[in-house]
Amino acid sequence: MTLLEQLEITQEIAKLKTEKNAVILAHNYQVPEVQDIADFVGDSLGLSQAAAQTDAEIIVFCGVHFMAETASILCPEQRVLLPDLEAGCSLAAMIDAEQLRQWKAEHSDAVVVSYVNTTAEVKAESDYCCTSANALKIIQAIPPEQEILFLPDMFLGAYLEKVTGRKMHIWPGECHVHAGIHPREIDAMHAIHPEAELLIHPECGCSTSCMYYQATGDSKGKVHILSTEGMIQHARRSLAKEFIVATEVGIVHRLQKEMTDKTFYPASERAICQYMKKITLEKVWISLQEEIYEVRVPEPTASKARRAIERMLALA
């Protein structure tokens, strides 16, 4: 796509937004040109909450399918469009509702805590949802004698066990992008940029080794395990001028755009989510123009899933 074509589509999207009373949400991992035309850029739950505060009739969610479902759950009176229905999530696909019901049957007294990166049907089978930003608060709020089933990310689960000292049953799932970021890549980047702070997402397979590095004192306060929004907030506050970012590479665009006086390096250039990258500027335009493809969570699934999300928000 040429710059002229991109400009023309951007102008068409702006016009359609006004005509249709629409709002565009873009996840931190979206391609730069999609982030740049969004009304809100952020993490999945925060975007849905922001949309719920608007009077928009149409929500165009530039993210993946479970995120559009969450928006539908929290904004039942609004139409939620996903520009590409094939924008899925490898982590959300790691467990379905039937698998969760079977797991619950094996642990009938357990409390189920589901990461927000799950389908609406899985959320509906859960007691609490959590995000990477508030998962620690959710686990700490549950009585220590209570058995917990945590799903679906095993690295976030292992991280929570380490920081709380609490044993949980953890589903063996992973995000293929975060699991692919290797400790040796972190070490190599540190060698090249020794003064940089490391911002690492708890879904990363190297989060446990980074926690050890943190605990030994060798890091000198330079290692921070954070959600995507936590990375944005920390970078704004920090006096550091360089950062190594261990998560999907799309977030580097927002970081660099908002903090031009600082430099951000992706921990791995390979950390690219093929599903996030399915959303393009042209697809956003077509979705809004033709009002396709709608994602709606039916009842009673929506109400049950909303209950798990509301319980999370009450605690965190």
257-288 tens-digit pLDDT: 999 999 999 999 999 999 999 999 999 999 99
Residues contacting residue 71 through CB under 8 Å, at least 6 positions apart? 25, 47, 48, 51, 59, 61, 78, 80, 295
Q: Compute the mean pLDDT over every residue in the chain, rounded to the nearest whole number.
A: 93
Flag whether 130 is marked binding: no
Average pLDDT of 223-235? Answer: 94
What is the C-alpha end-to-end distance of the chain, expressed in Å?
43
Q: Nearest-CA neighbor of 33 among 282, 294, 304?
A: 282
Q: Is the Cβ–Cβ distance between 82 and 55 less than 8 Å?
A: no
Residue 132, marked binder: yes
194 annotated ligand-binding residue = no
Q: Is 210 annotated as a binding residue?
A: no
What angle do helix axes 207-216 and 154-164 make, rounded to 10 degrees? 20
Residue 212's pLDDT band (boundaries 50, 70, 90)? very low
Report pLDDT for 193. 96
Residue 90 assigned ligand-binding role: no
206 belongs to an annotated ligand binding site = no
The pLDDT assigned to 211 comes to 55
Amino acid at 254: R
Which structure tokens are listed for 169?
């049953």
Q: Is 88 exposed, middle or buried (0-12, 13-18, 19+ CB in 10 A)?
A: middle
Helix (H) or strand (E) holding 266: strand 263-266
Three-state DSSP at 250 gives coil
Is 27 annotated for ligand binding? yes
* pLDDT tops 80 at residue 218: no
Residue 220: Cβ-neighbour burial (10 angstroms; 0-12, 13-18, 19+): exposed
Establish whether 115 is an annotated binding residue: yes
Residue 85 is encoded by which pair of tokens?
Answer: 């229905």
At residue 99, the pLDDT reads: 98
For residue 238, pLDDT over 80 is answered with yes
Residue 293 pLDDT > 80, yes or no? yes
Tens of pLDDT, residues 182-195: 888 888 998 999 99
Look at residue 111 and tell me whether its pLDDT is greater than 70.
yes
248 is in an annotated binding site: no
Task: Give the domains, in start order, of the chain with CATH numbers.
Answer: 3-87+278-290 (3.40.50.10800), 92-176 (3.40.50.10800), 181-266 (3.40.50.10800)
pLDDT tens digits, residue range 117-160? 999 999 999 999 999 999 999 999 999 999 999 999 999 999 99
What is the value of pTM for the model shown? 0.92
Work out the pLDDT band at 216, boundaries 50, 70, 90: very low
Output the pLDDT for position 183. 86
pLDDT > 80? residue 316:
no
Is 128 annotated to bind a ligand? Reply is: no
Q: How many CA atoms lie within 13 A of 158 on its CB side?
A: 19
pLDDT tens digits, residue range 4-57?
788 899 999 999 999 999 999 999 999 999 999 999 999 989 999 999 999 999
Known binding residue 175? Answer is: yes
8 A C-beta contact, residue 249 and residue 271: yes
228 is in an annotated binding site: yes
Within the chain, residue ranges assigned H as helices are: 3-20, 32-37, 44-52, 65-74, 97-106, 120-124, 135-141, 154-164, 176-179, 183-192, 207-216, 228-237, 251-258, 281-290, 301-315
178 φ/ψ angles, rounded to the nearest 5 degrees? -70, -35
Q: Is 21 annotated as a binding residue?
A: no
pLDDT score for 215 = 47
Contact (Cβ atoms closer than 8 angstroms) between residue 199 and residue 181? no
How far, in Å, CA of 299 to CA of 270, rounded?
Answer: 39
Cβ contacts of 300 within 8 Å, gap of 6 or more: 124
Contacts of 103 (CB under 8 A, 6+ apart): 149, 151, 169, 171
Nearest to 29 by CA among 240, 253, 263, 311: 253
Amino acid identity of 263? T
